[in-house]
Amino acid sequence: MRRSRLFLTLAIILVAAFAPAGLRAELVWTPGTGWQVEGGALAVVSGEEGRNALELMNRARAAEESGSNRRALRLYKKVYRSYGKSLYGPEAYFRTAQVRLAQHNYTKAFVAYQQIISLYPNYEKFDFVISEQYRIASAVAAGARNRWMWGTLPGFPKRENAIGYYEYVVANAPYSDYAPLALMNVAKLHKRFRSKIEAIDALDRMISFYPNSILTPEAYLRMAQTRASLVDGPEYDQRSAIDSVTYFQDFLLVFPGDPSVAVAEKGLDSMKTELANSKMKMAEFYHYKRHNYIAAKVFYNEAITLYPNSPVAIKARGRLDKIAPKLAEQEAAEAARASKVAAPKPKKKKILWLF
């Protein structure tokens, strides 16, 4: 008896897992008949537990329709706690999320949807749940406020919470159309909160994981601009400027027909000018502070190489002309010193001492 019951249970699980979508059971609610199970071969739900779950679901939906949200939430909670492994479990979570949204309790609505994603990945409304999570994240990012005390008392805006919501969307459905959108919004929010390193991380994931997305050109441009915003001036380390130039150049190379080409060209000009100016600063230090014209020449030439047709390059060429006479003297003196060091020393004659 036990063995036959075990085989029957395994058979039901296997059929549920591999049956076509048209044969799977689905809950449908109508005001006249209440909740009904439809879906062909798997539509039959019997037993005392099934009847109890169905009764709770009908009572909960009736309370919801009459505006008794608190009572509806309590009944839905009983369903997913007591009958969570049944067909009614995910639907109870789904209705809970819908009630929470009606109460403007975005936090608890998102949590209820996340329970569906975590516990019922084959739920027939999976895509809709992802879209709802994205909608909640966007609402919170725009300043929507949770309301407490059953939807009557508004709280404070917490836009930073939207970052976590968007990250859940990416993790829950990485191949959906919402994932790249969510990453772009994560980067935007991090930049708003002055977390530029985190914004760069989000944009880097966007570019790496979704190279063919329609949002990828914008991600390249934002990455270049965010890198540029980290530059402190020509006197400081230029790693961010170098990275910014790379992304601006990649954008112009990969997306030559994009409407933002002019913006990218302007940004590239600014960053290349920044890099050339950093070399000018070093050149002028050796020129005016150390009077080391050989070292100054090296940095003036680097400034010219970095941006040959820029005003900085023109200025560097003028400085090279200015130091040319003194530079020639230093180079001649350096060459003489080098030849003197390199000249072989005469060998000393050996003296034989006899004792």
- pTM score > 0.85 for this model? no
CA dihedral 281, 286, 291, 296 (to 10 degrees): -90
Mean pLDDT score, 44-53:
69
Percentage of the chain modeled with pLDDT above 90: 70
Q: What is the mean pLDDT of the chain?
A: 86
**Number of DSSP helices (H) and strands (E) in the chain, helices first:** 14, 4
Higher pLDDT, 343 or 275: 275
* Average pLDDT over every residue of 251-272: 96
Q: Does 151 have pLDDT greater than 50?
A: yes
* Overall average pLDDT of the 148-164 stretch: 78
Instruction: Dump pLDDT digits (tens) for 121-143.
Output: 999 999 999 999 999 999 999 99
Q: 236, 224, 310: which is closest to 273 by C-alpha?
A: 310
Residue 62 CA, chain-centre distance (Å), reads 42
Q: Across the chain, which distance is largest between two alpha carbons, in Å?
A: 133
Highest mean pLDDT range out of 82-86, 134-138, 191-195? 134-138
**Arithmetic mean of pLDDT, 216-245:** 94
Cα separation values, 158 from 112, 140, 283, 321, Å: 19, 7, 49, 60
The pLDDT score that the predictor gives to residue 9 is 42
Q: What are phi and psi of 134, to 5 degrees?
A: -65, -40
- The rounded distance, in Å, linking the Cα atoms of 276 and 265 is 16
Mean pLDDT lowest among 8-12, 46-50, 59-63, 283-287: 8-12
For residue 306, name the pLDDT band (cuts at 50, 70, 90).
Answer: very high
